[in-house]
Amino acid sequence: MISDLNSILSMSSKRMKRSVIRELLKMTQRPEIISFAGGLPSPESFPGELLKEITLEVLSSDSAHALQYSETEGDKRLRELIIERYNKKGVNVSLKNILITTASQQSLDLLPKIFVNPGDKVICGIPSYLGAISAFNSYGAEVTGVEMDENGMRSDMLEETLEELKKKGQKPKYIYVIPDFQNPTGICMPEKRRIEIIEVARKYDVLIVEDSPYREVRFAGTPQRTMFELDGTGQVILLGTMSKVFVPGFRIGWVIANEQVIDKLVVAKQNTDLCTSAFVQKISAKYIEKGYFDENLGKINKMYKEKRDAMVAAFHKYMPEGVKWTEPEGGLFLFMTLPQDIDAEDLFKVAIEENVAFVPGTSFYCNGKGKNTLRLNFSYMSKEKNEEGAHRLANAIKRLMK
């Protein structure tokens, strides 16, 4: 080994940080701990038996292509099926507008790869998805946060931020939003707010990246139109994934965007991994084609509603006064706000003693705030463990409030 590895590391390598959530998961593997830390779909949602059937069918009928390299753009049949689903819901796109990625996390890495130079500004909500912030930071982006309310990113604060940057001669590369059941808050942005943000972005001529991994995990309320559809001009880049509603291990995601953007992303992907696995793409396409996707989606959403209801009911039953939380209509997470004098990182230590775990909220704040907040996943554990874990968490909070 050379004498000083650090001396030859790239600047981008030095900017990279380990995922706080992945590191926390290592700490919560003891069987007695009820962990609300990961963003994990329930294993009960995985269609194992159906996948055995489909996998054999794919290998029997198309092994020569399934086991070969794929086009960088992705398997044509899978792209057609995804486009068909969007078109049925009023989103007007064609094959030239879609790229299959190795899950949506790769999309979040490719976007700054083609748009961001060190020092460039990227806008996101406060709080926002840690994986996106980390991806943007690794390319040297300066992530600027915009406050949120119960309807998501505040359009008035977004305009103030863009105006301040304009006065300094700075123009952000894009605005990153998660309008459907936002990670970490669980908030779903109403259509009025989506339109307001689009109008602000148009005024300042800035792209919007609409990250929508949880859109189809809706078990209450009314679906909102995508920002991509509401815009209709190509100013919005839409990201999707099958990880939350099929199997995360397949790592199937996609980008839907203007043809010029897709072309640049294709080149970036060719320089990253050449293509996403043809095998898992063909299995995924067959799964949708046979109607299994929609059939299983209904079961998943019913199950997640029951799990959310169990957790929320337990909070109402056990939580001390002064603790607040969101009650999302879909997604995998809810967000809790503690009294100002309680630090969630201090709470985490006490919670582990009570055999329950979560993610401290400050990880999701690009400005280092949110010390009295935490994210909780309700999809992975059983209803019974959601209730018991909520009880344990309430006990931990009460210990700190004494």
Is 70 exceeded by the pLDDT of residue 30? Answer: yes
Which strand (E) or helix (H) includes residue 51?
helix 48-66
Q: What 3-state class would DSSP assign to 238? A: strand
Assign 22 a pLDDT band (cuts: 50, 70, 90).
low
Please list, residue by residue across 61-84, b when 16 or more beta carbons sit within 10 angstroms of its beta carbon and e when fewer do.
ebeeebeeebbbbbbebbbbbbbe
Which strand (E) or helix (H) includes residue 391?
helix 383-401
What tens digit of pLDDT does each residue of 160-202 get? 999 999 999 999 999 999 999 999 999 999 999 999 999 999 9
pLDDT at residue 84 in the model: 97
Give the start-to-end residue ranges of the domains of the chain: 5-47+294-401, 64-292
What tens digit of pLDDT does each residue of 200-211 get? 999 999 999 999
According to DSSP, the β-strands at 252-256 and 98-102 are antiparallel
Cis peptide before 172 (omega within 30 of 0): no
pLDDT at residue 6 in the model: 76
Which strand (E) or helix (H) includes residue 210?
strand 207-211
The stretch 226-251 carries a mean pLDDT of 97
pLDDT at residue 381 in the model: 96
Q: Which one, of 225, 171, 157, lies nearest residue 194 by Cα? A: 225
pLDDT at residue 19 in the model: 57
The residue behind tokens 């990113």 is: 153
Asked if residue 279 lies in contact with residue 266, where contact means CB atoms within 8 angstroms, the answer is no
pLDDT at residue 306 in the model: 98
Assign 20 a pLDDT band (cuts: 50, 70, 90).
low
Please list, residue by residue across 336-353, b when 16 or more beta carbons sit within 10 angstroms of its beta carbon and e when fewer do.
bbbeeebebeebbebbbe
What tens digit of pLDDT does each residue of 43-81 get? 999 999 999 999 999 999 999 999 999 999 999 999 999
Asked if residue 176 lies in contact with residue 209, where contact means CB atoms within 8 angstroms, the answer is yes
pLDDT at residue 2 in the model: 62
What tens digit of pLDDT does each residue of 343-379 get? 999 999 999 999 999 999 999 999 999 999 999 999 9
What tens digit of pLDDT does each residue of 295-334 get? 999 999 999 999 999 999 999 999 999 999 999 999 999 9
Domain 5-47+294-401 homologous superfamily, CATH: Aspartate Aminotransferase, domain 1 (3.90.1150.10)
Assign 21 a pLDDT band (cuts: 50, 70, 90).
low
Average pLDDT, the chain: 94
Which strand (E) or helix (H) includes residue 324?
strand 324-325
**Which residues partner with 208 through β-bridges?**
175, 236
Q: What 3-state class would DSSP assign to 28? A: coil
pLDDT at residue 402 in the model: 75
Question: Does the domain made of 64-292 have the CATH classification 3.40.50.720?
Answer: no
Distances (CA, A) of 215 to 22, 66, 188, 259, 396: 23, 29, 9, 23, 33
- Torsion 193-199-205-210 (CA) sign: positive
CA 169 to chain centre: 31
Cis peptide before 41 (omega within 30 of 0): no
Assign 16 a pLDDT band (cuts: 50, 70, 90).
low
Which strand (E) or helix (H) includes residue 203?
helix 191-204
CA distance 280 to 397: 44
Assign 131 a pLDDT band (cuts: 50, 70, 90).
very high
Is 90 exceeded by the pLDDT of residue 382? Answer: yes
